[in-house]
Amino acid sequence: MTDIDTQYRIIDSSAGWHERTDRGRIRVEGADRIAFLQALLTNDLAALGPGQGVYSAYLTPQGRMIADLRLYDRANSVLADVPAPGTAALVAKLDALIFAEDVRVSDASIAVSAITVVGARAAALVASATGTVEKALADLPPLGAIDAPPFLLARADTSTRPAFDVFVDVESRSSAFELLNGVGIEPIGRDVVELLRIEAGRPAFGQDMDEHTIPLEAGLLDRAISLTKGCYVGQEVIVRVLHRGGGRVARRLVTLSFDPALEAPPAPGTMLQVDGRDAGRITSAAHSPRLGRVVALGYVSREDAEAGREASAVVDGRAWRAEVTGLAG
């Protein structure tokens, strides 16, 4: 594997691929699958049709996150892309909630592989590798999908670069790698995929969000929460914060940009200070070749979550200046 700077140049001029072992897959089948998920998850699945996808969250009754999910409506099932470490537990939770409904939930992580392709020429090269039309791919909205057997091709939402998630049955996994390599898409490492996510300000469950996070803190209101659908688990807490609290939460996830002289990204958990007081902590950080500086995601108190706010973090015994550049989400 080439170094990060070289891989970054690859995606700037062409495209790279990475197998997503950090994510799991769940398949939900049965005539009542949409109604079942609609009653549990934060976003509106009832409006989905084949070729459409939606980002959502599954919450506790207290409004804390259990998982985030990218859901794709297929002809006879819903495919959910979820955090890998909690896939089995999530399947068990969902399965335990099935009573009389015609619903079947299974862990499809072993049966279905997921490959992210990202870069300036991602649409053209994925189309060439899979026999699809470039314009059809390029015109997909975020999480929109095209069935191109044996592939499901979905527009990814975790990078500012053109990016696609290629889902393929495990039997065709090796041939998928050959097809991608054959059109000039080069393998890239997880570190680069993570860097692109951080640059885009997208939080990852298990890294920037966990079981203590209210989705509003992580900036997921616009992407993951429907304000018009019916009831879902945890809705009462979300509505209370939005309507009675004006959407204000005690902390917010923000994007940060560090002094260019800092080369080593701060470790997750590094404290952030504002005006000499502890204001939060860093959750993800990486050095961006494009920006020539370390970029990060981190939580700060509500009053400090505004662009232009100056913060600092101690790295290797020295305090380094950082600037809040916006809200994550």
Mean pLDDT of 238-263: 92
The 3-class secondary structure across the chain, one letter per residue, is CCCHHHHHHHHHHCCEEEECCCEEEEEEECCCHHHHHHCCECCCCCCCCCCCEEEEEEECCCCCEEEEEEEEECCCEEEEEEEHHHHHHHHHHHHHCCCCCCCEEEECCCCEEEEEEECCCHHHHHHHHHCCCHHHHHCCCCCCEEEECCEEEEECCCCCCCEEEEEEEHHHHHHHHHHHHHCCCEECCHHHHHHHHHHHCCCCECCCECCCCCCCCCCCHHHHCCCCCCCCCCHHHHHHHHHHCCCCCCEEEEEEEECCCCCCCCCCCCEEEECCEEEEEEEEEEEECCCCEEEEEEEEEHHHCCCCCEEEEEECCEEEEEEEEEECC
pLDDT at 230: 87
Q: What pLDDT digit, counting tens, does each position of 9-40 carry?
A: 999 999 999 999 999 999 999 999 999 999 99
pLDDT at 88: 97
CATH code for the part of the protein at 250-327: 2.40.30.110
pLDDT at 318: 92
Cα 19 from Cα 14, distance rounded (Å): 17
Q: What pLDDT digit, counting tens, does each position of 267-313 carry?
A: 999 999 999 999 999 999 999 999 999 999 999 999 999 999 999 99
Contacts of 299 (CB under 8 A, 6+ apart): 217, 251, 252, 253, 254, 272, 280, 281, 283
Q: Tokens standing for 149?
A: 């057997």
Residue 245 vs residue 118, higher pLDDT: 118
Cα 14 from Cα 267, distance rounded (Å): 31
pLDDT > 90 in the chain, percent = 92
pLDDT at 244: 79
Mean pLDDT of 203-218: 97
Mean pLDDT of 80-98: 96
pLDDT at 1: 52
Average pLDDT over the chain, rounded to an integer: 95
Residue 83 has pLDDT above 90, yes or no: yes
pLDDT at 2: 64
Q: Rounded to the nearest 5°, which phi and psi values hold at 178?
A: -65, -40
Answer for the pair 49, 99: CB distance below 8 angstroms, yes or no: no
Going by pLDDT thresholds of 50, 70 and 90, the confidence category of residue 170 is very high
Least confident of 11-25, 204-218, 242-256, 309-323: 242-256
Residue 245 has pLDDT above 90, yes or no: no
Mean pLDDT of 252-260: 98
Taken in order 127, 134, 26, 33, the sign of the CA dihedral is: negative
* Homologous superfamily (CATH) for 4-198: Probable tRNA modification gtpase trme; domain 1 (3.30.1360.120)
Going by pLDDT thresholds of 50, 70 and 90, the confidence category of residue 243 is confident
Q: Where are the domains of the chain?
A: 4-198, 250-327
**First-to-last C-alpha distance (Å) of the chain:** 30
